[in-house]
Amino acid sequence: MTTSSYLTVKALTKYIRRKFDADPHLRDVFVKGELSNVKIHSSGHIYFTLKDEGARITAAMFRADAQKLKFKPEEGMMVYIRGYVNVYESAGAYQLYAQTMEPDGVGGLFVAFNQLKEKLQQEGLFNPNFKQQIPLFPKTVGVLTATTGAAIRDICTTVSRRFPLAEIVIYPTLVQGQGAASNIAKNIQIANHQADCDVLIVGRGGGSIEDLWAFNEEIVARAIFESRIPIISAVGHETDTTIADFVADLRAPTPTAAAELAVPNQQELYQRIMMSKSQLHQMITAKINFERSRLKKLQSAYPLATPERLYRPFTEKLVQLDLQIERASKLYLMKKSNDLHKLDASIKLYSPKNALTYYGKQLNQTTNNLTRAVLTALQRNKDTFSSRIRTLEALNPLTIMNRGYTVTYKEEKVVKSISQMSVGDEVSIHFNDGEASATINKTKVEKKGE
């Protein structure tokens, strides 16, 4: 056999795959088994192993089919699967590709319902502490339901009959089928954003579990929980219970019952008002009669029969107080008059006119004294100045020279001693009225005391 007769692994695998594709029994298979090694990938695909007591097969469910599941596949769950078998070429193994999956023994919707219910309950969305009170007298009632059907008609009729003062705002909403859950959640958010309603009724009429399933979706439950406006759920009939009923602030068994819970009955209110009015009238009448009886008893009492006895002591006291006030007023006026006379005398004593006269005399005397002192000081300074002038004149060299004395200079310096001169020195002799030049021919030193 030549080498060309040998198949490649890829060619063999493709051949086997074509065999699988050509087999009608493998293109549409129904198989029951236990889930194992369940892995939900971030891409949305689900990978798992389907097994029983005698065998196992790897399986996968692509995202498009996995999104249609109403429950979450879990380890050990028995399921019914419809799909096809083919070869996974890169692994060289055959694999089951699931297209639908249903839990064994119970429906997938029921499993999905319980799984979501348990999840939301653990998160606290059913906690009664988060429930909001339904207002007693709502001005505006918002209704989220289909515009066609008995539910909207029953709600509007009941609200108008029970409490005509309430305004009804209708938010047309898909309540079943593709996109219903997201539409319900969106309209709840819109109603909260507009903030026109005091209470919301979210619901629809009866139907199968598939028809009501939009109210079991997580997106609806979270929108109800996050609503700032109180919500009354009204889904299906009394026997129908949805996730929305658990999260809502109040659950009504039917749309009609929801309308009755949303608004008061004006007839009942009128009867209660009339009853309260009658009771109030009776209470007021009884109170008036009681007080009237008390008044009659007081009027017939001894003090009120002779009222002058009641105020006589006060009259006497008033007269005494009047006399005391009169005496006190006179004493007060006398004291103030004396104070006024004393004040007048003080004003005259310390009058500015007297002070000005006194200080004027003092100023004149001080001025005269100051003038005499200044003149005396000036004369004394003048005499001192004249004496010092005479002394300076006596010491002035010019004055001395006027008496015949001279001053001799040698080399522009005053000669103060004979020891500064020598024979032949040229000197300059200064007189009072001029100078003369001379040459020293002879010097003689005179000893003191000779």
Token pair 């997580």 is at which residue?
218
The number of residues in the chain equals 450
Q: What is the pLDDT of residues 261-307, one digit of tens each?
A: 999 998 887 787 888 888 888 898 888 888 888 888 776 765 655 66
Which residue type occupies 289? N
Ranges under pLDDT 50 in the chain: none
428 touches 407 (CB < 8 A):
no
Up-side HSE of residue 182: CA atoms within 13 Å toward CB?
Answer: 2
Which residue type occupies 399? T
Token pair of 289 as six digits: 């009669």
> Which pTM value belongs to this model?
0.49
- How many other CB atoms are found less than 10 A from the CB of residue 154? 19
pLDDT, residue 108, reads: 65
Phi, psi at 234, each rounded to 5°: -145, 80
Q: What is the pLDDT of residues 144-198, one digit of tens each?
A: 999 988 899 999 999 999 999 999 999 999 999 889 999 999 999 999 999 899 9
Pick from 446, 445, 436, 432: which is nearest to 409 by CA?
436
Q: How far apart are CA 348 and CA 364, in angstroms?
A: 24
**Segment holding 48, helix H or strand E:** strand 46-51
Token pair of 233 as six digits: 């759920």
Q: How far apart are CA 366 and CA 271, in angstroms?
A: 110
Q: How far apart are CA 343 and CA 360, in angstroms?
A: 26
pLDDT, residue 392, reads: 74
152 touches 143 (CB < 8 A):
yes
pLDDT, residue 425, reads: 86
Q: How far apart are CA 386 and CA 392, in angstroms?
A: 10
CA distances from 163 to 189, 193, 197 (A): 26, 25, 15
Q: How far apart are CA 343 and CA 354, in angstroms?
A: 17
